[in-house]
């Protein structure tokens, strides 16, 4: 690595960075390269061999507790033949890492892992060529052990000796074949995550832990509601409070910086108390009316799939059902945080954004400066589960930092900032209709979905996504929302069934006018669509009088799909059943439920079996056990996959049983954990994960694989336990009790 | 402004600030301890938990003046990377987190539990940690880690 690049990393200093990692290619389209190599084609964008015996891997994907740094180091160690401990990983820094867009969509191993694998295989080849000329032996006869290259006669040279001779300043060819599965030493092994030890010993692990000389502490004072306008505030009084250095008021943006953190918090409270706002009732109706409102919205119906069988079989039984999902929060445990500093017209931001390059693009638009004058550096935050306030707080910090004469400012959102202003997972309505023939085959299937946007992240070609930009006097409009196209889909993610149904129609209503800001929450529309579709599969199975597992298998051809279904059923001890009546009557009804999906219809395969107990008197649902069987293709770190899948199951159980954003026509009423309970220790199920490793297959993303199957398995288990089908999330005790008593 | 001599992780540390400043910001900003985290500022989540005279307290709502005469312990006071406390070792070995933001609070609550009950059942561990939130949903791993540490501490 060049001295300048290493110095950047060390100092983290503000500076304008002139070099580009992606050479401009004139003329013909270059050959397609694997994974993110395609957009970041130089070898030295990905790997550096250091003379001091270290290897640095550069990735545009950021660590958010999913263990990507560890997975990438395993892949690199294998291809290079070095010990894992020699590898350093640099994540997301606009000055020195590849631009891989967002760390999202369960794509990091697929995109970055594939790139690192091919880049390292090629780097090893280059190093071996250099070693061959140095040792006077053909490259094919050289052996590498932890970076030491030995010739048959015993002469050797190390990668570190060859660091200057090996030229990585070239475009990758991806022509060096990576190792076969049998030759891998690290991939496939549950090595401990590299980010964990410091997290349990008080190390500086998060952006919250960053301390810079002369750093100030900032807080924002958000409007009381989305439609509010700031009419008056006594800035002078707040400026006189102890420690206050600056109050920034610009349109509806109000923020304060102080010498000490508790002083900033106190100043924020004073501003909150004294600022005058006019509010307007700009929000949608809440409760059941919300879903009627969504279904009546004037969004054009867009046909996603319309595949009708030429042989028009007549269903023997037809069903129709409407399912709903409320607005839900990311609810990161640590509210969003960023540190920003302006020096000589250049801005440096330390951020837990999922995409430092897209964030930089939006900051450049917000400040109307060249993106080259902004450097965004990843530092971990609390788990985000999608697009939360991480990007927004970066602009808040930059706005405050601009007012304090070169001093760095750390802005930490308060709990109510996060709950009230993070972009939510959209409320959704799913209307399912279908029919089975006399033999118990699905001959008609229709899935219609109503939803607001699921991706309003920074980095769009026009507009600024960042929250404060819409509050400033010279407000920038947010980007026009687009839905993620199929086959991954956004609002219609996982709405297209992978079952062999003879007639399928999928329609979406993409409602762009969202009074509450919505964006990517883990799985986008997948969670709600799988909830609806896999609940409805069970409803049709019951109508056909066929066991739910058998019913799925008879409509699944893909052997890998069948394998996870069979594996989950086997581990769960699934008892085949007919129409699916309650297993046990009494104060605690018990039931089991099954579900399957392949995330995005493209990533990992996951089948789940859930067991629940429903307390009839209170309506309280307890999920006692969930089995998940997963095929994630080639597994890099088995324990990492298990961690993602079991975390996904439990988080999904929390969404499913508890979570909904509260609001009235004017304000969001969810402000603290008291208003937004999540699953606690005494409520979490036991989770068992069965991994179906495919060492010769490609990577399949796993981070969002289990949320969809988990919600549907729980819904199906409740239906099995009680004989009552719940179609409105979340399944709170009140709602369950109401459904049970309505049934009588 | 007032000056306090705090006993933090066995060392006397002098700080000058407003007496009602929450302990959390003193630990994080004046003493540069990363362990206790700001999660809610409302004593609802447990990310900021530290031990005061051996009992778990939420440092985000505890004024520094209230603990001026007490022994304060953060995760930094349990052990270091080179010399891990059994709880730290257990959380690392069980890979008991995703993001880990709740982790320091979990460890401190577990320390308070194991000090008063060296052989807790899984049920008792869940009860003891029930006031702590984990959003990545690493609960089952955390319970396993506490059991592992309890076993090591008993040995």
What's the CA gap between A74 and A639, in Å, rounded?
13
Name the phi and psi angles at A412, rounded to 5: -120, 120
Whether A724 contacts A743, CB under 8 Å: yes
What SS3 class is residue A260?
A: coil
User: Would you call A428 exposed, middle or buried from its count of C-beta atoms within 10 A (0-12, 13-18, 19+)?
Assistant: buried
The residue count of chain A comes to 744
Give residue limits of the domains in chain A.
Answer: 3-199, 207-279+330-421, 428-455+490-743
What's the CA gap between A150 and A155, in Å, rounded?
6
Q: How far is CA A225 from the centre of its chain?
A: 27
Average pLDDT for A601-630: 97
**Residue A63 corresponds to which tokens in the numbers above?**
């660590």
Contacts of residue A26, Cβ cutoff 8 Å, sequence gap at least 6: none
* Buried-exposed string A527-558: b where 16+ CB fall within 10 A, e elsewhere: bbbbbbbbbbbbbbbbbbebbbbbbbbbbbee
Beta bridge partners of A444: A435
Q: Tens of pLDDT along A426-437?
A: 999 999 999 999
Of B21, B101, B135, the CB nearest to A262: B21
Q: Looking at the predicted structure, is the pLDDT value of residue A13 above 90?
A: no
Whether A623 contacts A593, CB under 8 Å: no
Complex ipTM? 0.98
Name the phi and psi angles at A276, rounded to 5: -110, 130
A207-279+330-421 and A428-455+490-743 in the same fold: yes
Contact B135 A382 (CB under 8 A): yes
- Residue A579: the pLDDT is 53
What's the CA gap between A230 and A278, in Å, rounded?
7
User: Would you call A87 exposed, middle or buried from its count of C-beta atoms within 10 A (0-12, 13-18, 19+)?
Assistant: buried
User: Would you call A52 exposed, middle or buried from its count of C-beta atoms within 10 A (0-12, 13-18, 19+)?
Assistant: exposed
Contact B92 A209 (CB under 8 A): no
**Nearest Cα residue in chain B from A213:** B29
What's the CA gap between B74 and B59, in Å, rounded?
10
Selected residue of B8, B91, B98 to mutate for chain A interface (largest A Cβ count, 10 A):
B98
Contact B137 A197 (CB under 8 A): no
Q: Looking at the predicted structure, is the pLDDT value of residue A669 above 50?
A: yes
Give the DSSP H/E element, type plus range, for residue A720: helix A707-722
DSSP A496-553: S--S--SSEEEEEEE----SS-B--BTTTTHHHHHHHHHHHHHHHHHHHT--HHHHHH
C-alpha closest to that of B47 among B149, B129, B122, B146: B129
Torsion angle defined by CA atoms of residues A521, A341, A417 and A105, in that order, rounded to the nearest 10 degrees: 0
Choose the weakest-confidence range: A233-237, A451-455, A473-477, A537-541. A473-477
User: Would you call A256 exposed, middle or buried from its count of C-beta atoms within 10 A (0-12, 13-18, 19+)?
Assistant: buried
Name the phi and psi angles at A206, rounded to 5: -130, 160
**Residue A27 corresponds to which tokens in the numbers above?**
């003329």
Contacts of residue A545, Cβ cutoff 8 Å, sequence gap at least 6: A440, A578, A579
Q: Tens of pLDDT along A565-608?
A: 999 999 999 999 865 555 556 789 999 999 999 999 999 999 99
- Residue A298: the pLDDT is 84
Give the DSSP H/E element, type plus range, for residue B12: strand B11-17
Q: Tens of pLDDT along A376-404?
A: 999 999 999 999 999 999 999 999 999 99
Q: Looking at the predicted structure, is the pLDDT value of residue A366 above 50?
A: yes
Contact A192 B75 (CB under 8 A): no
Contacts of residue B154, Cβ cutoff 8 Å, sequence gap at least 6: B118, B119
pLDDT band at A15; cut points 50, 70, 90: very low
Fold (CATH) for A3-199: Aldehyde Oxidoreductase; domain 4 (3.30.365)
Of A203, A385, A673, the CB nearest to B45: A673
Between A and B, how many CB-CB pairs are < 8 A? 175
Q: Tens of pLDDT along A126-137?
A: 999 999 999 999
Q: Looking at the predicted structure, is the pLDDT value of residue A743 above 80?
A: no
Whether A451 contacts A510, CB under 8 Å: yes
C-alpha closest to that of A696 among A32, A187, A77: A187
pLDDT one digit per residue (tens) for chain B, 155 residues:
899 999 999 999 999 999 999 999 999 999 999 999 999 999 999 999 999 999 999 999 999 999 999 999 999 999 999 999 999 999 999 999 999 999 999 999 999 999 999 999 999 999 999 999 999 999 999 999 999 999 999 99
The domain defined by A207-279+330-421 carries CATH number 3.40.50.300:
no
The mean of the pLDDT values for chain A is 94
Contact B95 A639 (CB under 8 A): yes
pLDDT band at A299; cut points 50, 70, 90: confident
- Residue A313: the pLDDT is 77
- Residue A309: the pLDDT is 77
Bridging pattern class, strands A317-325 and A428-436:
antiparallel
* Chain B, window 65-104: residues with a beta carbon less than 8 angstroms from a chain A beta carbon: 74-76, 79-81, 84, 88, 91-93, 95, 97-104
* Chain B, window 40-59: residues with a beta carbon less than 8 angstroms from a chain A beta carbon: 40-42, 44-45, 47
- Output the CA angle B69-B73-B77, nearest 5 degrees: 135
**What are chain B's domains?**
2-77 (3.10.20.30), 86-154 (1.10.150.120)
pLDDT band at A36; cut points 50, 70, 90: very high
Fold (CATH) for A428-455+490-743: Aldehyde Oxidoreductase; domain 4 (3.30.365)
């Amino acid at each position: 690595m060049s001295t300048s690049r290493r110095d950047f990393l060390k100092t983290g200093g503000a500076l304008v960075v002139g070099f580009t990692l992606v050479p401009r290619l004139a003329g013909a389209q270059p050959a397609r390269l694997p994974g993110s190599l395609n957009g970041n084609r130089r070898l030295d964008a990905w790997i550096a061999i250091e003379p001091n015996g270290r290897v640095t891997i550069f990735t545009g994907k950021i660590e958010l507790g999913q263990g990507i740094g560890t997975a990438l180091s395993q892949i690199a160690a294998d291809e290079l033949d070095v010990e894992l401990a020699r590898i350093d990983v640099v994540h997301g820094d606009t000055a020195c890492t590849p631009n891989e867009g967002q760390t999202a969509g369960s794509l990091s191993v697929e995109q970055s892992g594939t790139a690192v694998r091919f880049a390292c295989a090629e780097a090893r080849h280059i190093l071996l060529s250099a070693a061959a000329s140095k040792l006077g032996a053909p490259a094919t006869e050289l052996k590498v052990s932890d970076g030491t290259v030995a010739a048959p006669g015993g002469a050797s040279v190390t990668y570190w000796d060859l660091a200057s001779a090996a030229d990585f300043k070239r475009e990758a060819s991806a022509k060096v074949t990576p190792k076969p599965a049998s030759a891998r030493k690290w991939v496939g092994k549950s090595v401990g995550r590299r980010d964990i030890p410091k997290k349990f010993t008080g190390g500086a692990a998060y952006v919250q832990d960053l301390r810079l000389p002369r750093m100030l502490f900032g807080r924002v004072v958000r409007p009381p509601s989305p439609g509010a306008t700031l009419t008056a505030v006594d800035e002078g009084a707040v400026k006189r409070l102890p420690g206050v250095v600056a109050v920034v008021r610009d349109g509806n943006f109000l923020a304060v910086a102080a010498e000490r953190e508790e002083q900033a918090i106190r100043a924020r409270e004073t501003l909150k108390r004294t600022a005058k706002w006019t509010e307007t009732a700009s929000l949608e109706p809440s409760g059941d009316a919300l879903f009627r409102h969504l279904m009546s919205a004037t969004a054009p119906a867009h046909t996603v799939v319309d595949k009708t069988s030429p042989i028009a079989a007549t269903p023997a039984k037809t069903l129709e059902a409407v399912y709903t999902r409320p607005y839900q929060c990311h609810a990161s445990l640590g509210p969003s945080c960023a540190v920003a500093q302006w020096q000589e017209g250049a801005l440096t931001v330390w951020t837990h954004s999922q995409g430092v390059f897209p964030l930089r693009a939006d900051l450049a638009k917000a400040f109307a400066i060249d993106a080259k004058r902004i450097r965004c550096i990843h530092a971990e935050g609390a788990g985000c589960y999608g697009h939360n306030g991480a990007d927004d707080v970066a602009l808040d910090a930059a706005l405050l930092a601009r007012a304090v004469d070169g001093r760095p400012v750390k802005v930490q959102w308060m709990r109510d900032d996060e709950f009230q202003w993070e972009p939510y997972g959209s409320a959704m309505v799913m209307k399912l209709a279908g029919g089975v023939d006399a033999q118990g085959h699905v001959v008609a299937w229709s899935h219609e979905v109503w939803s607001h946007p699921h991706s309003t992240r920074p980095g769009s070609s026009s507009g600024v996504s960042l929250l404060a930009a819409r509050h400033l006097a010279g407000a920038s409009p947010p980007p026009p929302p687009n839905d993620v196209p199929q086959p991954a889909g956004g609002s219609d993610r996982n709405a297209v069934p992978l079952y062999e149904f003879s007639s399928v129609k999928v329609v979406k209503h993409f409602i762009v006018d969202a009074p509450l800001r919505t964006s990517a929450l883990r799985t986008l529309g997948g969670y709600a669509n799988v909830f609806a579709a896999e609940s409805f599969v069970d409803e049709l199975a019951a109508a056909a009088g066929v066991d739910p597992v058998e019913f799925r298998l008879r409509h699944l051809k893909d052997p890998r799909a069948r394998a996870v279904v069979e594996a989950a059923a086997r581990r769960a001890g699934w008892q085949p059943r007919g129409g699916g009546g309650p297993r046990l009557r009494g104060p605690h009804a018990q039931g089991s439920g099954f579900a399957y999906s392949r995330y995005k219809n493209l990533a990992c395969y996951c089948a789940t079996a859930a067991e629940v107990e429903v307390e009839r008197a209170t309506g309280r649902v307890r999920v006692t056990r969930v089995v998940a069987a997963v095929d994630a293709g080639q597994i890099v770190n088995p324990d990492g996959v298990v961690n993602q899948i079991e975390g996904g199951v439990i988080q999904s159980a929390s969404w499913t049983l508890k979570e909904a954003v509260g609001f009235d026509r004017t304000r969001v009423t969810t402000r603290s954990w008291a208003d937004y309970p999540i699953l606690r220790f005494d409520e979490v199920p036991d989770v068992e994960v069965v991994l179906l490793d495919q060492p010769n297959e490609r990577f399949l993303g796993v981070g969002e694989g289990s949320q969809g199957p988990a919600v549907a398995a729980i819904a199906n288990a409740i239906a099995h336990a009680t004989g009552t089908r719940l179609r409105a999330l979340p399944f709170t005790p009140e709602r369950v009790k109401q459904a049970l008593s309505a049934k009588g | 402004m007032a000056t306090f001599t705090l006993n933090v992780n066995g060392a006397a540390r002098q700080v000058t600030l407003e007496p009602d400043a929450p302990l959390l910001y003193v630990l994080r900003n004046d003493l540069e301890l990363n362990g206790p985290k700001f999660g809610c500022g409302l004593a609802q989540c447990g990310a900021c938990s530290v031990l005061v005279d051996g009992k778990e307290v939420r440092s985000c709502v505890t004024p520094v003046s209230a603990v001026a005469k007490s022994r304060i312990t953060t995760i930094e006071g349990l052990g270091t990377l080179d010399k891990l406390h059994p709880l730290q070792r257990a959380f690392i070995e069980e890979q008991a987190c995703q993001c880990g933001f709740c982790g320091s609070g979990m460890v401190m609550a577990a320390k308070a539990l194991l000090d008063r009950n060296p052989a807790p059942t899984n049920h008792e561990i869940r009860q003891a940690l029930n006031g702590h939130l984990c959003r990545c949903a690493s609960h089952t791993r955390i319970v396993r880690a506490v059991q592992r540490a309890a076993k090591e501490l008993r040995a």
